[in-house]
Amino acid sequence: MRPLTMVDLKSQYEKIKPDVDKAIQFVIDNTQFIKGDAVKEFENELATYLGVKHVIGCANGTDALQIAMMALGLKPGDEVITTNFTFIATVEVIALLGLKPILVDVYPDTYNININELKKAISPKTKAIVPVHLFGQCAHMESLMEIAKQHNLFVIEDNAQAIGADYTFSSGITKKAGTIGHIGCTSFFPSKNLGCYGDGGALFTNDDELAEQIASIVNHGMKKRYYHDRIGVNSRLDTIQAAILRIKLPKLDEYILARQEVASYYTKAFQEIAEIDTPKIDSFTSHVFHQYTMRIKGGKREALKSFLESKNVPAMIYYPVPLHTQKAFLEFKDDRDFPITEELCNEVLSLPMHTELDEEQLTYITNSVIEFFENN
Ligand SMILES: *Cc1c(COP(=O)(O)O)cnc(C)c1O
């Protein structure tokens, strides 16, 4: 059996190696390292795939979130509501810009932002909501957008984990994750569902004016060279990364399907195990399974994780510490508590999830999990 890893970028690369190598070499031969043609081409191709008017590349997903908040004109002291159960980047940029992160608890079965808790967190100072489509399925965007409209709030979707997921509204209309709010942000970090070979990110919007602001901010706040209209940053998608992404984008749906098949395999195998809550998928969204994250009940997570490690099955905890108890965020701590996030941090466990898992590996992984529960 091929050794098990959480992600397997090497095997995926081997299948597209000739195209990728050629694309990289082309950029080197042309020396268009910054703002080369591949960047614009990739932005256009991704916009078509997503059905959104504008895609603007940037250096990484964290920058994308920061740039979105800058483009919307958020000012120090403004409150931004997001979920307590996410990767640190979401909250980090809020704090960096002098905005106040207001954390909200999540649903126990989908791990996405709880809409009732979100409503309770709105104050006169609230300016924006940042839903995170965690692990690959969309948050409750329809209700979230209605609330945002009522209160005149901006919505920035953190779509780093759910690129390609579909959201279906009650009207029957379907939109891609990240194209529903005012701005969508994504990351092309290598292990993401659409990953490049280094850092990369992008912002999406249907708003022409916002797109213009974003394009200016990513490039030192200038439209005309050396004329700076506003304070910006240096955050561009490298041409080499864009060239690689142009090879991988046409394969994204195939990659998503491979992930969904792995997820179905796991879920089916664990059906009879009482101590495992397999991931629930909400009816209004598809799940592109950036992670396969289950809840392990009965206080058995650590023992299961150690057992799996002893069998060379890697398993990871995304995420072990609630954001409100992170040392870096203690200054934002208030008296609210987050019972579901705390439960999740104690119970979640993610299994290997990538596009290259084969039947032999899947059988070995699921049998190892089953073996643990037969003896514990
Ligand atoms: C990966 C990730 C980011 C940040 O992306 P980078 O490209 O690593 O900066 C932001 N939010 C979430 C939810 C992520 O998973």
Contact between residue 203 and residue 67 where contact means Cβ atoms under 8 Å apart: yes
User: Which residue type is seen at 54?
Assistant: H
pLDDT at 346: 97
**Ligand 1, from 161, 188, 191, 235: best to mutate by most atoms within 8 Å of Cβ?**
161
Question: Dihedral of CA 43/191/59/95: which sign?
Answer: positive
Contact between residue 351 and residue 292 where contact means Cβ atoms under 8 Å apart: yes
Question: To the nearest whole number, what is the mean pLDDT of the chain?
Answer: 97
pLDDT exceeds 90 at position 225: no
Q: Atom of ligand 1 at shortest distance to CA of 161?
A: 15
Report the candidate in 272, 321, 323, 274 with the shortest Cα–Cα distance to residue 295. Answer: 274
Is 61 close to ligand 1, i.e. is its CB under 6 Å away?
yes
Model pTM? 0.97
Report the candidate in 135, 74, 184, 64 with the shortest Cα–Cα distance to residue 287. Answer: 135
Contact between residue 7 and residue 350 where contact means Cβ atoms under 8 Å apart: no
- The pLDDT tens digits of the residues spanning 320-366 come to 999 999 999 888 888 889 999 999 999 999 999 999 999 999 999 99
Is 189 close to ligand 1, i.e. is its CB under 6 Å away?
yes
Is 193 close to ligand 1, i.e. is its CB under 6 Å away?
no
pLDDT at 117: 97
Contact between residue 183 and residue 193 where contact means Cβ atoms under 8 Å apart: no
Same fold, 9-103+112-250 and 251-374: no
- Flag the least confident range among 124-138, 225-239, 256-270: 225-239
CA-closest residue to ligand 1 atom 6: 61
Is 23 close to ligand 1, i.e. is its CB under 6 Å away?
no
pLDDT at 224: 86
pLDDT exceeds 90 at position 2: yes
pLDDT exceeds 90 at position 223: no
CA-closest residue to ligand 1 atom 3: 61
pLDDT more than 70, % of the chain: 100
Q: How far, in Å, is the centroid of ligand 1 from the Cα of 201?
A: 9
Is 126 close to ligand 1, i.e. is its CB under 6 Å away?
no
Q: 9-103+112-250 has which fold?
A: Aspartate Aminotransferase; domain 2 (3.40.640)
Q: How far, in Å, is the centroid of ligand 1 from the Cα of 86?
A: 9
Is 160 close to ligand 1, i.e. is its CB under 6 Å away?
yes
Is 42 close to ligand 1, i.e. is its CB under 6 Å away?
no
Q: 251-374 has which fold?
A: Aspartate Aminotransferase, domain 1 (3.90.1150)
Q: Where are the chain's structural domains?
A: 9-103+112-250, 251-374
